[in-house]
């Protein structure tokens, strides 16, 4: 099957300069309408997209020629018309590698974002052996899915690549150093090139919060017109900022490190080398530390701490309450700085949003805000990180 040219991390930066934007936007629109409504006829596509029939036909022919979509069986409509329905090409897929400081997940997804299989990768203790273990797991996953054609590997990391540094002078850049990932102890900057060399597949890497922000837009959970901040609450806290129609990357790709804004100069040391950063008081780790302080015994894993809180355990509840208050204060800072339309929270706390959401919002509103954004957990919060891999790869491939 012909593969489109190897994608590069370039679309987002080129948006403002490109004159292909309307065509790209329409391609994206048509593809996503087919994804969301398949099987669908060309006539219905024109109706739901609001585009002219001729434009729809042109884009559909392109997407068919590139095999992103396929023609399905004929449909039956009243009055004897029999349109051909369109579907995404179910043979194509994307691999998702979601690197977490505490666990790394590898998954196979189809182009619609459906997770077809997923495994945890057991990473060796020795930092030098980690990349080999990841490469090995990916090769096995590809072999186990030999009937599928993969368009790439989307990789979300708890860190930030300095893309400019790498692209401006890749030969002289030490990739291990071109990443800010204070919660990871192995050479994470090398993983992209090693996996590309081993598999021949393009690997699209981004910070997990950026990837989730892109995913919100790609999968249409937000309209792409309004500004949005994704806050990933995990071992640390990362944010992805989507503003003015693109991900805001900042100098050195380091925009969005609100987790490392100091909120208490006398606070605990942070993995970044500073003290009292927001993530030291509002991350999962902080919640577990509060439990240890309150209950005077070691905290269970964060997942189980959430279960305790949900079950009404006083120490469990108080520790999650404290974490939520700290979270709300930080979100107040973000809302004040950026005035996004929406803040989307990703992370282990999202299944308990009915419990934590009101606490976070109350704390946020305790101090007046010029504009209060909508706050919501990510759509299918626990799958958001894996699904973002499809957005990373498809955003580059399709556009």
Of 158, 150, 157, give the one whose Cα is nearest residue 108: 150
Least distance between Zn ion and beta carbon 263 (Å):
10
Of 393, 35, 67, 10, give the one whose Cα is nearest residue 199: 393
Place of tokens 């249409």: 220
The contact pattern for Zn ion, residues 240-269, with x = CB under 5 A and - = no contact, is: --------------------x---------
Choice between 276 and 351, CB closer to Zn ion: 276
Within 277-296, which residues bind Zn ion (CB under 5 A)? 277
Least distance between Zn ion and beta carbon 282 (Å):
12
Give the H or E element holding residue 291. Answer: helix 284-295
Residue 146 region by backbone torsions, left for phi larger than 0, else alpha for psi between -120 and 50, else beta: alpha
Least distance between Zn ion and beta carbon 158 (Å):
13
Least distance between Zn ion and beta carbon 277 (Å):
3
Give the H or E element holding residue 353. Answer: helix 353-366
Least distance between Zn ion and beta carbon 105 (Å):
25
Choice between 25 and 261, CB closer to Zn ion: 261
Choice between 272 and 369, CB closer to Zn ion: 272
The contact pattern for Zn ion, residues 329-368, with x = CB under 5 A and - = no contact, is: ----------------------------------------
- Count of residues that bind Zn ion according to CB under 5 A: 5
Least distance between Zn ion and beta carbon 259 (Å):
7
Residue 270 lies near Zn ion (rule: CB under 5 A): yes
Question: For Zn ion, which residue of 57, 145, 274, 341 counts as binding (CB under 5 A)?
Answer: 274
Least distance between Zn ion and beta carbon 270 (Å):
3
Choice between 272 and 339, CB closer to Zn ion: 272
Choice between 45 and 282, CB closer to Zn ion: 282
Q: Do 236 and 279 touch, CB atoms closer than 8 A? A: yes
Measured in degrees and rounded to the nearest 5, phi and psi for residue 93 equal -155, 180
DSSP string, 197-265: HHH-S-EEEEEHHHHHHHHHHHTTSS-SSS-EEEEEESSSEEEEEEETTEE---GGG-TT-GGGSBS-T
Strand-pair category, 228-233 with 203-207:
unpaired
What are 180's two structure tokens? Answer: 């800010």
Choice between 237 and 399, CB closer to Zn ion: 237
Choice between 33 and 271, CB closer to Zn ion: 271
Angle formed by the axes of helices 284-295 and 314-338, nearest 10°: 150
Bridge partners (DSSP) of residue 201 are: none
Number of helices followed by number of strands (H, E) in the chain: 14, 14
Stretch in the footprint of Zn ion (CB under 5 A) among 47-55, 210-218, 273-281, 314-322: 273-281
Choice between 69 and 323, CB closer to Zn ion: 323
Question: For Zn ion, which residue of 21, 133, 272, 333 counts as binding (CB under 5 A)?
Answer: 272
Least distance between Zn ion and beta carbon 257 (Å):
8
Bridge partners (DSSP) of residue 270 are: none
Residue 386 lies near Zn ion (rule: CB under 5 A): no
Q: Given the rule CB under 5 A, which residues bind Zn ion?
A: 260, 270, 272, 274, 277
């Amino acid at each position: 099957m012909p593969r489109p040219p190897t994608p590069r991390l370039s679309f987002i930066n080129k948006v403002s300069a490109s004159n292909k934007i309307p065509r790209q936007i329409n391609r994206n629109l048509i593809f996503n309408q087919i994804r969301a409504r398949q099987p669908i006829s060309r006539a219905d596509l024109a109706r739901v997209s609001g585009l002219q029939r001729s434009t729809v036909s042109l884009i559909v022919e392109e997407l068919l020629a590139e095999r992103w979509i396929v023609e399905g069986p004929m449909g039956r409509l009243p009055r004897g018309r029999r349109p051909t329905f369109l579907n995404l090409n179910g043979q194509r897929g994307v691999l998702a590698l979601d690197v977490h400081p505490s666990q790394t997940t590898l998954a196979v997804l189809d182009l619609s974002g459906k997770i077809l299989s997923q495994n945890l990768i057991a990473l060796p203790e020795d930092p030098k052996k980690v990349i080999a273990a990841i490469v090995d797991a990916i090769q096995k996953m590809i072999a186990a899915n030999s009937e599928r054609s993969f368009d790439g590997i989307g990789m979300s990391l708890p860190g930030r690549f300095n893309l400019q540094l790498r692209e401006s002078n890749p030969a002289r850049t030490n990739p291990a150093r071109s990443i800010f990932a204070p919660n990871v102890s192995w050479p994470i900057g090398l993983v992209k090139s090693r996996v590309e060399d081993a598999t021949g597949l393009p690997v699209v890497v981004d910070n997990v919060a950026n990837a989730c922000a892109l995913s919100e837009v790609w999968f249409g959970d937000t309209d792409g017109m309004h500004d949005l901040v994704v806050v990933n609450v995990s071992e640390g806290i990362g944010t992805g900022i989507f503003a003015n129609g693109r991900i805001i990357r900042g100098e050195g790709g380091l925009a969005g490190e609100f987790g490392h804004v100091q909120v208490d100069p006398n606070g605990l040391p942070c993995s970044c080398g500073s003290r009292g950063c927001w993530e030291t008081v509002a991350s999962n780790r902080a919640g577990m530390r509060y439990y240890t302080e309150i209950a005077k015994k070691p905290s269970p894993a964060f997942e189980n701490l959430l279960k305790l809180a949900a079950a009404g355990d006083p120490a469990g509840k108080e520790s999650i309450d404290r974490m939520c208050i700290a979270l709300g204060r930080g979100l107040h800072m973000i809302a004040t700085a950026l005035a996004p339309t929406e803040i989307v929270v990703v992370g282990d706390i999202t299944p308990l949003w009915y419990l934590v959401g009101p606490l976070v919002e109350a704390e946020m509103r305790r101090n007046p805000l010029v504009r209060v954004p909508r706050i919501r957990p990510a759509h299918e919060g626990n799958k958001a990180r894996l699904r973002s891999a499809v957005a990373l790869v498809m955003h580059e491939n399709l556009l």
